[in-house]
Structure 1
């Protein structure tokens, strides 16, 4: 579990320490099975409602609209995802989608949009989604082809979004489209209700760690001006600042996964008899545990440094959040792989929590910017700081 000494670091204040203790106790009692069977949609809706009732989703919106804190706090979001990820990857997914999907409204939305959506996000009564990726525009947002054409009443959306989490169960989608014949060219963000005519979920597909995901198709989908988030043509800024809030939290979820794997790995190695002793008595096992423990602590420092810089220093965290996301997800993959190995055949048995962790971690190295994209971001920011230009 989370090294208790980490909470003594100056990155945290007493409210963060209380939050972690409270969510850890709640998750231990409420999230008792990492492996879900049956309808993944039903599980996600149920988990969202459960976290809303418990008050955890209040950390996804500002206090004025039913939130727990005055502003979005990256450290709190990371602590919540770390604790949820330790117990249940699907609960972590359901939690972050509430924040990621509504974050643009919290950061840039009009007062009317905030009043309309955010209280229901905080209570878990409305499910949110974030629709940025397209078939030919994932990490390369500049390649976006979904169009928003200005009309007398507002905008008409046409295009396709894919790899959209919460597809078919979300009540609303934060959608990004390239504006045509508007007062400002560029990407613009909109809130599109799920029942808006012209919006269809045209595909659902399975991924290795099951969750609701699919493709949205917009065909002459009429959106009033009142549903626009922020200024026309400023949607790229909306998307990037939203991702800056949540990118470090991807690393925190991976950290929770890695801690769960290490705890299970140590328990298995300590009980597994081998060569007249236990697996844990072997020096090769101890070396692996030493490496994994160090990687977990290094991830912790990178994640909460990035979150602290955003919360306290109020500075851009493009580089530090990219480092945290990249290192924590990659190291969690290594930790989980080693712990699967410690479990032997049991570690790849479908339905075992260790096997579930092995599937859950893989997507985190891709979404919200693949590892290779983070490497480019880090390199460019580093060279910019060294040379003054890139």
Structure 2
């Protein structure tokens, strides 16, 4: 039985198998990918190995947050590119799996789960990042029914290479004091007239881009969930994925800590190994303690989500906040203890140093998580 405080032997064995798969099967494919673009062979391998089915269920059944967290942590520890590719498929497809129509699920989810189609979650805009309720993409009523989408989405993972997008647009002006109302989720296949995209070059070269909508046609069959209830669809997705962002961060922290323990034992300075210097050993102890605390907070949030208990939004925010901030500290400390060699392009820690920064921003920045936690304390 899983508790928030320990993993059972079966889960530990599964994590070990995942790490081996990531190192042996996925990392070579990741290394062959074009920076900043979707790595389709890597996505296909995730599908062939059955890993995408742990992120969303094509039949719409709920996903266990604990399984998702363990999966993301294990992959991140060995291959961050594989972890990211898996998570982005899940973000794009999960709203369809949980809230889509039978036709939407049957058309797209088997393809996404198999890694043959790439999905994307299109929520953020140039002026509506962490403040998702401020989005301005307009869905204007069209003659004969349906809507026309006009506006821009920005910082969209897997754009512009995805095959299908979960897009959030404003179908009505918000009611008095209700900024979150009037938003609708749509399933928009690539290739719709008026839909265009541009890739963005980022600090860590993930597939991220801009989507431009010029009167893109969508109809009632494209609506995910109910008209005007898109904000709830988005938040339900993020409540599941926020703890797993923390798990991603824990995986990176563990990788950095593992590398630093080896380095401190082997590297000699001032007449002995680095680990015998008190300043180094105390830093290692702090790195290990914070990483363990972050993992426990992530597991507790995942267990609460799976149990359907109270305070899921608060626990998810706490896990995401603490784990991503911890990973930043651990990776930075690892770089410091390695010295200049860790700054060399191609070094594991140089890679992690670029990777670890973004999770403190996406899916709700650190400051937003603190706001959620404070609000939930008084709910």
Note whether the superposition's TM-score is higher than 0.5.
yes
Which residue matches 1:266?
261
Select which of 328, 342, 351 maps to 1:333.
328
Q: Deviations over 1:80-127 (max 9, x none)?
A: 110111111111110001110011111111111111111111111111
Matched, 1:128 2:119: yes
Q: TM-score, normalised by structure 1?
A: 0.90
User: For residues 192 and 151 of structure 2, what CA distance do their matches in structure 1 show?
Assistant: 15
Contact 2:250 2:327 in 1 (8 A): yes
1:290 aligns with 2:301: no
Contact 2:122 2:168 in 1 (8 A): yes
The residue aligned with 2:130 is: 139
Pairing 1:173–2:165 present: yes
Could you say if the C-alpha distance between residues 128 and 34 of structure 1 is closer, same or farther in structure 2, counting changes exceeding 3 Å?
closer
C-alpha RMSD over aligned residues: 2.2
Using the TM superposition, name which of 270-279 and 36-45 deviates more: 36-45
1:131–1:43 CA distance, 2 compared to 1 (3 A): closer
- Report the counterpart of residue 187 of structure 2 in structure 1: 191
> What corresponds to 2:18 in structure 1?
23
Partner residue in 1 for 2:177: none
SS in 1 for 2:367: helix
Asked whether the equivalents of residues 150 and 180 of structure 1 are also in contact (C-alpha less than 8 Å), the reply is no
- Rounded to whole Å, the distance in 2 between the matches of 1:295 and 1:176 is 36
Alignment of 1:75-224 (within 5 A): 75-151=66-142, 152-180=144-172, 186-201=182-197, 203-224=198-219
1: CA distance, partners of 2:257 / 2:30: 18
Q: Structure 1, unaligned stretches of length 5 or more?
A: 1-5, 385-390
Give matches, 1:291-330, under 5 Å.
291-315=286-310, 317-330=312-325
- Cα displacement (A) at 1:168: 1.9
Distance (Å, rounded) in 1 between the aligned partners of 2:173 and 2:325: 43
Give me the whole-angstrom Cα distance separating, in 2, the residues matched to 1:116 and 1:129. 16
Preserved contact between residue 34 and residue 353 of structure 1 (Cα < 8 Å): no
In structure 2, stretches of 5+ residues that fail to align are: 175-179
Cα deviation for residue 194 of structure 1 reads 0.8
1:337 is displaced (CA, Å) by: 0.4
**In the alignment, what sits opposite 1:242?**
237
**8 Å CA contact retained: 1:34, 1:89:** no
Paired residues in the alignment total 373
Counterpart CA distance in 2 for 1:383 and 1:83 is 35
| 1:148-187 CA distance string (max 9 Å, x none) | 11222311110100000101211001000000499x9600
Q: Is the 8 A contact 2:121 2:166 kept in 1?
A: yes
Structure 1's 245 and 212: CA in aligned 2 closer, same or farther, altered over 3 A?
A: same
Distance 1:274 1:48, change over 3 A: same
Q: What TM-score do you get using the length of structure 2 for normalisation? A: 0.93
Instruction: State the alpha-carbon separation in 2 of the partners of residues 225 and 64 from structure 1.
Output: 21
Moved more, 154-163 or 310-319: 310-319
Q: Contact 1:52–1:122 at 8 Å: present in 2 too?
A: yes
Call closer, same or farther: CA 1:37–1:48 in 2, change over 3 Å. Answer: closer
Q: For the Cα contact (< 8 Å) 1:139–1:369, is it kept in 2?
A: yes
More deviation, 151-160/47-56: 151-160
Asked if the contact 2:36/2:205 (under 8 Å) is kept, the reply is: no
How big is each residue's C-alpha offset from its partner over 1:4-58, in whole Å with a ceiling of 9 and x where there is no partner?
A: xx97866656664453232122113224469846612666212111111111011
